[in-house]
Amino acid sequence: MRRMKGASGHEVNRLLGCHGAVWQRESFDHILRGDESLMKKAEYIARNPIRAGLVDRSRDYKWWWRPE
């Protein structure tokens, strides 16, 4: 994972003409042990664009996807 993040970070910076961190430091991994845990994590992730002030509703986010 470290190599992938390093390589992709360098490429993103090169393409955007930027420098600096692209990825956040990882604090921990969490094993999902069941459907309830999976849904809680999915809901948390879906709310990230709202918390960031990008949209008012998750489904309005450009990259929103929800299985049918």
Inform me whether the pLDDT recorded for 42 exceeds 70.
yes
pTM of the shown model: 0.49
Are 25 and 13 in contact by the 8 Å Cβ rule? The answer is no
How many angstroms separate the CA atoms of 43 and 59, rounded? 12
Please write down the HEC assignment for all residues of the chain: CHHHHHHHHHHHHHHHCCCCCCCCCCCCCCCCCCHHHHHHHHHHHHCHHHHCCCCCCHHHCCCCCCCC
Average pLDDT, the chain: 84
Side chain identity at 41, as an amino acid letter?
Answer: K
How many angstroms separate the CA atoms of 46 and 52, rounded? 11
pLDDT of residue 59: 86
pLDDT of residue 63: 84
